[in-house]
């Protein structure tokens, strides 16, 4: 766990490396990314093994998350093109104007436990490709992956000091945020911390992209294919034991969709195999810590006490060979209402809560009434209903018959409302803008042109 002195060492290394790295042509920086991509492919199994060993998610899911991170590296390989500026000739007589995007300096990344590879890779590949240097502070609960990625970057030819990893918790984060050498902060984690990071960055006048928690809704209309909707919901609600910021934790069944959906869910829930994540037949692994297991279990009790219909109770899971682990079975509530804590709070576990709505308008009222607004999905066969939903829903990422609408690396990722603080999403072109600042250069080569006559007036061009 890093203390202030360790943070200072990392920031000193990053500061010292910045001028030379920023001066390296974008093509040279891209070539490091190409080699890094190859190395990740070569070490795929090893990295997914680290993710599963520390987080607990099943290996195939860990591999999918690594792939999503890798796609950001692929996007960053195109950095020479992405950094192209604007140019206008003759904005005045003999006067040209162009803009360039320059790196910021030392950037910092702080990531949550649930995506040990993907979330850091939303951040550092683009930051580095843009010419910045970087200090990554991964979650103390899943620390090893970032270190392995750092080793692979070094092997890919990244100069020393450009990418640094420090471990730690609030103490390390506070030391990073108060250091004057830090030019920008990328944060992903829970909403209270995201908000506090954004406030601290704003106070200092530095950039922050700060992504918080979520409660993602899937609205199922009566005309949807219930089998497909149930398949989608099972993966989105219980994959990674619900420890995903894009997990669907709320199903809003419209009209008479609820009973059919519930009937389709039950056999699928019964078939989910909860096992240690490295077992080949595991569908769902354990939760991250005992403390988190207890928190999720206490929400199940609260939902029952508040009067929701507890259809499947994950606490009944039979523990056999892994007594003492942090396992919880998939849980389903039905007939919940928006005032209940199981609906309001982000539980971050394998708990799916179903609400009933009379029509699409009511369903949208429920979705848009929630404080979180990361992703939202609609399942329907009606193009009009889907279009209405996508237009009227207040969420950053919307799926139509897609349960987890995580945008690809060439689009940006981010929610609305209290799922994000600051005005910048991560990845995509928005990521490039976040990690660079614009310089606009107006130039004139006056040889052979009339002089400007020493006027004190506001200069104008264009005649
Ligand atoms: P967390 O907020 O507890 O921790 C995130 C990071 O912040 C960690 O690196 C941690 O060490 C650090 N941290 C924790 N408390 C801190 C404090 N008081 N001051 C400064 N730093 C602190 O989150 P977590 O439990 O690791 O991750 C789960 C949360 O992350 C969920 O809320 C989930 O929705 C969210 N998440 C959001 C997204 C998204 O894209 N919006 C993606 C993944 C996870």
**Structure confidence by residue, pLDDT tens digits, 299-324:** 999 999 999 999 999 998 876 667 77
**114: phi then psi, degrees, rounded to nearest 5:** -80, -15
Say if 332 falls within a structural domain. yes
31/155 same-domain check: yes
Domain assignment present for 406: no
Q: Is the CB of 122 under 6 A from ligand 1?
A: no
Residue to substitute in 65, 112, 428 for testing ligand 1 pocket (most ligand atoms within 8 angstroms of CB): 112
Stretch 208-234: mean pLDDT, rounded?
Answer: 98
Average pLDDT rounded to a whole number, residues 183-197? 98
Domain shared by 195 and 255, yes or no: no
Total of domains in the chain: 2
Is the residue at 451 inside a domain? no
Q: Residue 76: pLDDT above 70?
A: yes
Tell me, yes or no, whether 228 and 100 share the same domain: no
In this prediction, residues 146-161 reach a mean pLDDT of 98
State both tokens at 74. Answer: 């692929």
Q: Is 346 in the pocket of ligand 1 (CB under 6 A)?
A: yes
Q: Do 177 and 310 have their domain in common?
A: no
For the residues 329-349, what does the mean pLDDT come to?
Answer: 98
Q: Is 58 in the pocket of ligand 1 (CB under 6 A)?
A: no
Q: Are residues 247 and 348 in the same domain?
A: yes
61 lines ligand 1 (CB under 6 A): no
Q: How many CA atoms lie within 13 A of 451 on its CB side?
A: 3
Cβ–Cβ < 8 Å for 397, 367: no
Share the mean pLDDT of the chain. Answer: 96
Mean pLDDT of 33-49: 98
pLDDT number for residue 324: 78
Q: What is the mean pLDDT of residues 314-337?
A: 88
CATH code where residue 394 lies = 3.40.309.10
**How much distance in Å is there from the Cα of 348 to the middle of ligand 1?**
12
In this prediction, residues 63-88 reach a mean pLDDT of 97
Please report the atom of ligand 1 found closest to the CA of residue 138: 9
Per-residue pLDDT averaged across 399-412, rounded?
96
DSSP state of 426: B
User: Ligand 1 in contact with 372 (CB < 6 A)?
Assistant: no
In contact, 380 and 386? CB cutoff 8 Å: yes
Distance 355 CA to ligand 1 centre (A): 28
Residue of 77, 107, 145, 245 marked active site: 245
Paired sense of beta strands 331-334 and 95-103, if any: unpaired
pLDDT at 33 over 90: yes
255-277: average pLDDT: 97
Residues 41 and 188 in one domain: yes
Ligand 1 centroid distance, CA of 180 (Å): 23
Nearest-angstrom CA–CA distance, 352 and 337: 13
Q: What is the pLDDT of residue 452?
A: 65
> Which protein residue's CA is at the shortest distance from atom 38 of ligand 1?
245
Cβ within 8 Å of residue 427, ≥6 positions away: 72, 75, 122, 126, 407, 409, 411, 412, 413
CATH number at residue 53: 3.40.605.10
Share of the chain above pLDDT 90, in %: 93
pLDDT band at 47 (very low <50, low <70, confident <90, very high): very high
Among residues 304, 297, 403, 419, the alpha carbon closest in space to that of 350 is found at: 297
| 245 part of the active site | yes
The answer to whether residues 317 and 294 belong to one domain is yes
Q: Is the CB of 173 under 6 A from ligand 1?
A: yes
Return the pLDDT at 455.
80
Distance from Cα 10 to the centre of ligand 1, integer Å = 21
Average pLDDT over residues 26-35: 98
Q: 255 and 111: one domain? A: no
pLDDT of residue 213: 98
Range of the domain at 59: 4-212+419-441
Closest to 381 (Cα-Cα) out of 217, 230, 222, 216: 222
453 domain residue, yes or no: no
Measured from the Cα of 288, ligand 1's closest atom is 25
Mean pLDDT of 433-459: 85
Please report where in the chains the tokens 């970032």 appear, as a residue.
Answer: 146
Choosing from 400, 430, 451, the residue where a domain stops is: 400
CB 170 less than 6 A from any atom of ligand 1 = yes
How far does residue 112's CA lie from ligand 1's centre (Å)?
A: 4
Task: Flag whether 117 is in a domain.
Answer: yes
Look at residue 320 in the predicted model and tell me its pLDDT: 61
Is residue 198 in a domain? yes
- Whether residue 447 lies inside any domain: the answer is no
Is residue 450 scored above 90 in pLDDT?
A: no
Over residues 29-53, mean pLDDT:
98
pLDDT range class, residue 26, cuts 50, 70, 90: very high
Looking at the structure, tell me whether residues 257 and 284 fall in a common domain: yes
Q: Please report, to the nearest 10 degrees, the dihedral formed by the alpha carbons of residues 314, 320, 321, 323 taken in order.
A: 60
**Is residue 62 in a domain?**
yes
152 and 12 together in one domain: yes
Please check the confidence at residue 395 and state whether its pLDDT lies above 90: yes
Asked if 243 and 381 sit in the same domain, the reply is yes
- Kindly tell me if the per-residue pLDDT of 462 is higher than 80: no
Q: Are both 188 and 229 inside the same structural domain?
A: no
Residue 449 has pLDDT above 70, yes or no: no
């Amino acid at each position: 766990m890093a203390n202030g002195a360790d943070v200072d060492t990392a920031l000193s290394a990053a500061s010292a490396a910045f001028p030379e790295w920023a001066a390296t042509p974008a093509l040279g920086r891209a070539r490091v990314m190409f080699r890094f991509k190859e190395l990740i492919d070569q070490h795929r199994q090893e990295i997914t093994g680290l993710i599963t060993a520390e987080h607990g998610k099943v290996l195939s899911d860990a591999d999918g998350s690594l792939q999503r991170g890798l796609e950001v590296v692929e996007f960053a390989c195109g950095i020479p093109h992405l950094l192209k500026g604007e140019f206008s000739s003759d904005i005045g007589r003999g006067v040209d104007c162009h803009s360039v995007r320059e790196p910021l300096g030392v950037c910092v990344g702080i990531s949550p436990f649930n995506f040990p590879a993907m979330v850091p890779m939303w951040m550092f590949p683009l930051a580095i490709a843009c010419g910045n240097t970087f200090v990554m502070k991964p979650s103390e609960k899943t620390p090893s992956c970032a270190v392995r990625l750092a080793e692979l970057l070094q092997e890919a030819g990244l100069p020393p000091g450009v990418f640094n990893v420090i471990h730690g918790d609030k103490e390390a984060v506070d030391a990073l945020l108060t250091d004057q050498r830090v030019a920008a902060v990328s944060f992903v984690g829970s909403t209270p911390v995201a908000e506090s990071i954004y406030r601290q960055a704003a106070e200092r006048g530095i950039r922050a992209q700060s992504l918080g928690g979520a409660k993602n809704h899937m609205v199922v209309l009566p005309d949807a294919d219930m089998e497909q909707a149930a398949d989608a919901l099972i993966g989105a609600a219980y994959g990674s034991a619900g420890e995903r910021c894009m997990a669907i934790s709320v199903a809003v069944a419209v009209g008479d969709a609820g009973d059919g959906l519930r009937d389709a869910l039950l056999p699928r829930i019964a078939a989910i195999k909860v096992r240690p994540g490295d077992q080949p037949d595991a569908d769902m692994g354990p939760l991250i810590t005992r403390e988190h297991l207890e928190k999720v279990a206490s929400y199940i009790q609260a939902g029952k006490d508040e009067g929701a219909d507890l259809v499947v109770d994950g606490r009944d899971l039979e523990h056999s060979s892994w007594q003492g682990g942090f396992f919880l079975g998939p849980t389903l509530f039905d007939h919940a209402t928006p005032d209940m804590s199981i609906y309001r709070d982000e539980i971050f576990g394998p708990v799916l809560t179903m609400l009933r709505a009379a029509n699409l308008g009511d369903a949208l009222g429920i979705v848009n009434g929630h404080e979180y607004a990361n992703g939202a999905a609609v399942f329907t066969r009606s193009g009009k209903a889907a279009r209405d939903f996508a237009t009227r829903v207040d969420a950053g990422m919307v799926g139509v018959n897609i349960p987890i609408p995580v945008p690809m690396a060439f689009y940006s990722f981010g929610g609305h409302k209290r799922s994000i603080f600051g005005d910048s999403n991560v990845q995509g072109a928005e990521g490039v803008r976040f990690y660079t600042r614009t310089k606009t250069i107006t130039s004139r080569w006056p040889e052979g042109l009339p002089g400007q006559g020493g006027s004190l007036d506001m200069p104008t061009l264009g005649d």
